[in-house]
Amino acid sequence: MGSRLRFPFLPLMSVCALLISASSLAQTPELHGNPEHGKAISYTCLGCHGIKGYRNAYPNYEVPKLEGQYPEYLQTALQEYKNSERSHTTMHSQASSLSEQDMADIATYFAGKPLQPQASPAGAHTPPQSAAVCVACHGTNGIGIVSMYPTLAGQWSDYLVQAIEEYKSGARKHPIMDAMAAQLKESDVRQIADYYSSLTPSLHTLERPYTRLTLEH
């Protein structure tokens, strides 16, 4: 099933490069995350993100895997929830109480050891036509080319579908993703999500180190 995307591959790479440069110029002094503090304050986060296959109730989809993700991207995502640039009532409520340092600490804890871009053997990953422009930022192996772009490899397929649909509807806001998602057909969205979710090495769920039952024993 072919896509009718109008974004040529090379121009999109140029746009990505421009955004990277602009982001670098606009960045505030980098915050170094403290994973120990992040672990200590992430007990509510682990209630959803620390259970493999845990599902968001409505709409129904698996909450994203975070281990292996770039901590810089996770911190940005928390900022966007806090600033209502992403629409999710629970995430907005949780992020609203966090300082910038708290976000950096939680992001560093959940990311663990981020997956790193690496050269793939020729022909190892052949994206479908619908995902041809995605590789400019997310790579053929699903690992973001820089830390401002999320790694998608092994992410839950239904979560990826939900994320793209939110860009299409305006529930999420991003200068590249808004325009690109708007042109995707439903079949394209599913094809892209299935492709990236199948890739390895992949993201994982950072399983919570304790539960109420273990605390009682």
- Chain-centroid distance, C-alpha 82: 16
The span from the CA of 207 to the CA of 17, in Å, is 35
Whether residue 48 has pLDDT greater than 60: yes
Range with lowest mean pLDDT among 23-27, 91-95, 107-111, 179-183: 23-27
Tell me, what's the pLDDT at 207? 86
pLDDT band at 22 (very low <50, low <70, confident <90, very high): very low
For the chain, what percent of residues have pLDDT higher than 70?
A: 81
CB burial string 136-165: b at 16+ within 10 A, e below = bbbbbbbbbbbbbbbbbbbbbbbbbbbbbb
pLDDT of residue 79: 98
pLDDT reading at 5 higher than 60: no
Asked whether the beta carbons of 180 and 5 are under 8 A apart, the reply is: yes
Length of the chain: 217
Q: Higher-confidence residue: 122 or 19?
A: 122
Domains and CATH numbers, the chain: 32-115+128-208 (1.10.760.10)
* Of residues 23 and 96, more confidently modeled: 96
pLDDT at 211: 52
pLDDT digits (tens, 9 = 90+) for 117-137: 887 666 677 899 999 999 999
Closest CA to 186 of 130, 126, 125: 130
Q: Is the pLDDT of residue 2 over 80?
A: no
